[in-house]
């Protein structure tokens, strides 16, 4: 079983806690108090003020989808500059909270709203911060980024994905928001979140047949969740030996639903070259390369696990020099992380292959295939 990189590739955009999900915070409930370690940017806020609507986003510096939501929230803050609307970004689950301030400073006006950090006791797990325990877990929320809209009366009016916040915010502001409908929708969302938790365990356990069943259950409740499950369906189909079906589906989704989703594209590529796969699937290395390169480009070569995947694809295609070049970047970016040793070991594997190449010619497509793999 792979450690952090495997989990990150297949489930990073669904961060799951190890405790059971218990919903005790929902639509229409008073917003919990803000319990923060400090403000990184913007005017500090002690409590929610009446007659002001707040968009409270939970995010993290390591969260790739959050990088897309940040400019979106900035645009909304500008759009509603003349209204009593405030965007708040609360950084949570940070292994090193000291990275938050430099991250925000580097973004500059791309992150043009108030930012604060979760209150975590010294020595405590980052997932046990006051805002995580007071907001996310009681609401049954497991993914980042997640937004809570707090209405003018200080009550939670909506909970959901940041990129879907526009319509509910507009309706809350103009007084047309249907609270009962929102409450029903969030209860359905909680059921989907619970299935996500189950799915995450199945992926880590490589229980691929069960993975497909759970994905179908999720989509029956929420068809829009295909954007989060498409890459997993591809990986499961490939692992089960249903290659034709897998590639037809994966290639189609890579061109539409997943074309701007770096983590999902990375999953597609990794599923093809995964060295720990229980069975070796038919490998379309051209497709793996396209998916891996797109993922790396979307993240501007700043994501170690994605670079690691691209390097492995190059290696499997016989381009050892390029594999080493990319893996060196991945190793440097991973310094201080839990998977640094694994990425470094793979770099040494590539270097060893370059020093003493043992290659054979693949009879199907003529590519070089390295011996011992």
Q: Is the pLDDT of residue 327 over 70?
A: yes
- Is 257 domain-assigned? no
DSSP character for 169?
A: H
Q: Is the pLDDT of residue 362 over 60?
A: no
- Is 320 domain-assigned? yes
Mean pLDDT over 111-138 rounds to 92
In this structure, the answer to whether residues 153 and 10 fall within a common structural domain is yes
Domain end marker among 177, 209, 234: 177
Q: Is the pLDDT of residue 315 over 60?
A: yes
CATH code for position 107: 3.40.30.10
- Is 144 domain-assigned? yes
Look up the domain containing 312 and give its range: 299-373
Domain end marker among 177, 209, 237: 177
- Is 228 domain-assigned? no
Domain end marker among 119, 143, 177: 177
- Is 171 domain-assigned? yes
In this structure, the answer to whether residues 9 and 143 fall within a common structural domain is yes
How many angstroms separate the Cα of 18 from the Cα of each of 187, 200, 211, 217? 21, 11, 19, 22
Share of the chain above pLDDT 70, in %: 89
Number of domains in the chain: 2
- Is 278 domain-assigned? no
Tell me how far apart the alpha carbons of residues 334 and 341 are, in angstroms, rounded to a whole number: 9
What is the average pLDDT value for the chain, to the nearest integer? 88
pLDDT band at 357 (very low <50, low <70, confident <90, very high): low
- Is 270 domain-assigned? no
DSSP code per residue over 22-78? -----TTSBPPPP-EEEEEES---SSPPTT-EEEEEEE-TT-HHHHHHHHHHHHHHH
């Amino acid at each position: 079983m792979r450690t952090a990189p495997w989990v990150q590739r297949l489930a990073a955009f669904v961060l799951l806690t190890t405790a059971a999900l218990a919903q005790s915070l929902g639509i229409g409930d008073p917003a919990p108090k803000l319990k923060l370690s400090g403000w990184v940017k913007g005017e500090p806020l002690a409590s929610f003020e009446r007659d002001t609507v707040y968009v409270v986003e939970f995010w993290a510096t390591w969260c790739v989808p959050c990088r897309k939501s940040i400019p979106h929230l900035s645009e909304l803050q500008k759009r509603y500059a003349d209204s009593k609307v405030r965007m708040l970004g609360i950084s949570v689950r940070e292994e090193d909270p000291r990275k938050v301030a430099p991250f925000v400073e580097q973004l500059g006006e791309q992150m043009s709203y108030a930012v604060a950090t979760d209150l975590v006791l010294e020595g405590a797990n980052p997932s046990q911060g006051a805002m995580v325990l007071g907001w996310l877990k009681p609401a049954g929320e497991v993914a980042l980024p997640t937004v809570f809209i707090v209405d003018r009366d200080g009550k939670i009016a909506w909970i959901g994905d940041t990129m879907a916040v526009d319509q509910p915010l507009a309706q809350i502001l103009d007084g047309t928001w249907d609270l009962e409908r929102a409450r029903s929708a969030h209860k359905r969302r909680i059921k989907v979140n619970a299935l996500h938790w189950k799915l995450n365990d199945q992926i880590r356990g490589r229980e691929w047949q069960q993975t497909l069943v759970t994905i179908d259950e999720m989509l029956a409740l929420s068809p829009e969740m295909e954007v989060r499950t498409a890459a997993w369906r591809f990986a499961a189909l490939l692992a089960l030996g249903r290659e034709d079906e897998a590639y037809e589906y994966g290639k189609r989704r890579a061109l539409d639903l997943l074309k701007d989703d770096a983590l999902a594209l990375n999953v597609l590529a990794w599923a093809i070259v995964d060295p720990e796969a229980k069975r070796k699937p038919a490998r379309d290395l051209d497709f793996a390369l396209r998916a891996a390169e797109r993922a790396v480009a979307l993240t501007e070569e700043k994501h170690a696990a994605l670079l690691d995947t691209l390097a492995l694809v190059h290696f499997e295609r016989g381009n050892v020099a390029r594999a080493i070049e990319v893996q060196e970047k991945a190793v440097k970016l991973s310094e201080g992380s839990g998977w640094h040793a694994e990425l470094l070991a793979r770099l040494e594997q590539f270097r060893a292959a370059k020093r003493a190449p043992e290659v054979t010619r693949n009879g199907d497509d003529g590519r070089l295939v390295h011996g011992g793999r």
